[in-house]
Amino acid sequence: MTKQWLFFAFITAKAMKAKIRSYRNITHVSDSEKTITDIMEACKNGNIAVLSSLAEGKPIFNEIEKRGLSPLVVASHNGHTNIVRYILQHKHYIINPEILACAATTARINGQERIRSLITLYYIKYCRYSA
């Protein structure tokens, strides 16, 4: 490994830790159970337009995950690569390595190798060096 690559990995890990710390104190609770249901249905059906309109500018994915559900796992289970990519790239989504592992396993079990690879690469990029 080169020194430049190690420096990049260190800076990336440091930035991700700062992002996680900045969102830890968010206490936003979704407006209603209907919003959660609509988001989960959008993930199940692969409706990116509905999902993006409901999640725009809000840390809603992590609030849903606190309730024991995971939009990422639902999208992985149903094979919706575009939904998985949207959730992973959402600026308010805080990375949870356990949920990433669950989503990757769900994708592998259901034969969704492209989604499993996407989640694995995301894990390697953001979680592996931040521990």
Listed by start position, the domains of the chain span 30-126
Cα 10 to Cα 42: distance, rounded to the nearest angstrom? 36
CA dihedral 47, 107, 66, 127 (to 10 degrees): -110
So what's the pLDDT on residue 18?
46
Cα 89 to Cα 122: distance, rounded to the nearest angstrom? 10
So what's the pLDDT on residue 24?
41
pLDDT in tens, the chain (131 residues): 444 443 443 444 444 444 434 434 444 444 557 888 899 999 999 999 999 999 888 888 887 887 788 899 999 999 999 999 999 999 888 888 888 989 999 999 999 999 999 999 998 888 776 54
So what's the pLDDT on residue 31?
57
Q: Single out the residue of 61, 64, 28, 35 nearest to residue 50, CA to CA.
A: 35
So what's the pLDDT on residue 112?
93
Helix (H) or strand (E) holding 1: none
So what's the pLDDT on residue 110?
92
Cα 116 to Cα 68: distance, rounded to the nearest angstrom? 21
So what's the pLDDT on residue 64?
83
Which residue type does 57 have? G
Measured in whole angstroms, how far is the alpha carbon of residue 60 from the centre of its chain? 11
So what's the pLDDT on residue 4?
46
So what's the pLDDT on residue 96?
84
Pick the CATH number of 30-126 from 1.25.40, 1.10.3720, 1.10.3470, 1.20.1630: 1.25.40
Helix (H) or strand (E) holding 50: helix 48-55
So what's the pLDDT on residue 84?
95
